[in-house]
Amino acid sequence: MKILIVEDEPSLRELIQRTLRKERYVTEEADCYEVALSKIEIYDYDCVLLDIMLPDGNGLKLLERLKEMRKRENVIIISAKDSLEDKVLGVELGADDYLPKPFHIAELTARIRSVLRRKHRDGDSSIKLGNICIVPDTFQVLVDGKPVELKRKEYDILHFFMNRPNRMIDKSTLAESVWGDHIDQVDNFDFIYAQIKNLRKKLKDAGATAEIKAVYGFGYKMSAE
């Protein structure tokens, strides 16, 4: 899961970033309105942590822009401006949650898990495709109920595909979603080929009925046989 942190206060932004990376999220940061706007226009995120009061603009304007672009990012407003009017406007513009400052970092991570679970899987934390099951809360992968050991990036790739079954995924989208923004600008994607090759072998050896298939000239698609 990739999260954009829109926060102008350096120490809080660093604390959130450090905490979320320990939770194995891919994080990107924006310290002002203009940087955040450029990122949401170019890249996609699973969740946006959004401060309202930014030095060069109102964070609610970013919500309006996301709505105009019909993007589906989960948005959690994190702001010291704790007024009923802002909460109502934020919800009307598509925010999924509102967490006033100051907050405990553990509550923030719990809110993130909650909105992602609620939005993507109707409250069920596990993800299933064929006989493969992922439990994101514990990073566990099961095939026919038996655990499969994956390296971190192999798990991240599998998690990405299983959240998007039967969808064509181009290499650059996979790269920036699993490795972060700007990685899509590298000269080649040999590092992706190697990771997917190892992942496919482990799934095949475990007897998985779902497979990540190469789509010539485009990228990959995961589907159950």
| Residue-by-residue DSSP string for 101-144 | SS--HHHHHHHHHHHHHHHHHTT---EEETTEEEETTTTEEEET
Q: What is the pLDDT along the chain (225 residues), one digit of tens a residue?
A: 899 999 999 999 999 999 999 998 999 999 999 999 999 999 999 999 999 889 999 999 999 999 889 888 899 999 887 667 777 888 888 888 999 888 999 999 999 988 887 765 555 668 899 999 998 878 899 999 999 999 999 999 999 999 889 999 988 888 888 888 878 667 777 888 899 999 999 999 999 999 999 988 788 999 986
pLDDT of residue 51: 92
Q: Is the distance from CB of 8 to CB of 31 less than 8 angstroms? A: yes
Q: Which long-range contacts (CB under 8 A, 24 or more apart) does 205-209 make?
A: 206/143, 206/144, 206/146, 206/148, 207/131, 207/143, 207/144, 208/130, 208/131, 208/132, 208/143, 209/130, 209/131, 209/132
pLDDT of residue 75: 94
Domains in the chain: boundaries: 2-121, 127-224
End-to-end Cα distance, the chain: 26
Is the fold of 2-121 the same as that of 127-224? no
Architecture of domain 127-224: Orthogonal Bundle (1.10)
Q: Which residue, chain included where needed, has tokens 């192999």?
A: 154
Instruction: Say yes or no: domain 2-121 is CATH 3.40.50.2300.
Output: yes
pLDDT of residue 188: 77
pLDDT of residue 8: 94
pLDDT of residue 119: 64
